[in-house]
Chains A and B, each alone.
Chain A
Amino acid sequence: MDDERRIEQFSERLDAWGPELSRWPADEAEQARALIARSPDARARHADARRLSELVAQAAQADAPNGFAFRVVAEVQSRRADRLFWLMGSPERFRWASAGLCVVALALGVALGAVSQPAQADSGDIDLGAMFSLTLADGDL
């Protein structure tokens, strides 16, 4: 590859990876340093990329306005409170939310009942049904 093509490739890598050669892959950085050492054109492009990078870094800076962090935290606390008030602020909304919760709990119970295995007769569990029958008989009912 001739130097002209190498410089074009170097220029493209400068734009892709930035002018800080220590952040490049080691072998690419080594080749780039050698090219910069022997080519004035490569040096000029590297200097140009460095200048643009510094300008972009300065342009990207912005100081946070006074009280910014306080306002962010206050806004989040306010939104939390709003959500709670939204629910508590209307008996009708609260009833709907409660009813929804009941329906979900019922559906979950039915689903769990459908998938769980019934207890075996010889599993050693106490048969509460038999105890209840005995109690009824004792009471002459």
Chain B
Amino acid sequence: MAVVTILYLLFLVAPMALLLVGSFGQSWSNTLLPTGFTGRWYVEVATDPSFRRAFVTSLQVVGLTCLLNVLIGLPLAYAIQSAARNGVRIAARLLTLLPIAVPDLVLAFGFILAFSSDTLPWLGSFWLLVAGHVVLTLPYTVNTLAADMQQLRLAEFEQAAATLGAPFAARFRDIVLPMVATSLLSAMLTVAALSIGEFQLSNLIAGFLSRTYPVVLLQAFYGATGLACAATVVLLVLAVTASVLSSATARLARSA
């Protein structure tokens, strides 16, 4: 058990530690560790126009992906959990699980085939990229929210509110939204973490001007090692922050 744990941590933590060390190293070639200490790689990442553009693109994609997840995922999860018949619930769950079962690569090839035609010539557009991210993350949102709604016994609280005279709109505003707020926030932070690190699909369908941060990052590894390390650390910090916040709020949602 201990051996497994140590090996696991070694393979998980060691590369990240090396990235961190590398990002501050002056030069790093054919030695185990880099030599010299510098912060200039971070300055270069921050000032590089293609990194800057990709960073902004990524933030836009993440923001819109989250927004669309709320607008589509919340009503969908609500509809699934309030569906009276169990069959409907199971069918909806399976449908939303499909994008998880299908490899990203397959989805990307599908996108390329479908959207490079004359009728749907959207390949390489910013909005198609957002759509791709939504397709990949929506199942997560729907499943998390539907499960949380069930665990919160939302249906029963809604019934109670109905007997007290609250019509649907009032119930949604006063009961559903406040009760799922924390769960929704936690789901969106996870979606942000997934979206910010997404590479496979983005790499294949992003246009030259709408490349996301991870896609540009790959190019950086053909150049100076220190620059690549620094750029990766930036991504790592963003993704880890979102994940940590997500699990912290998820715990809050469950204890509420």
Whether A associates with B in a native complex is: no
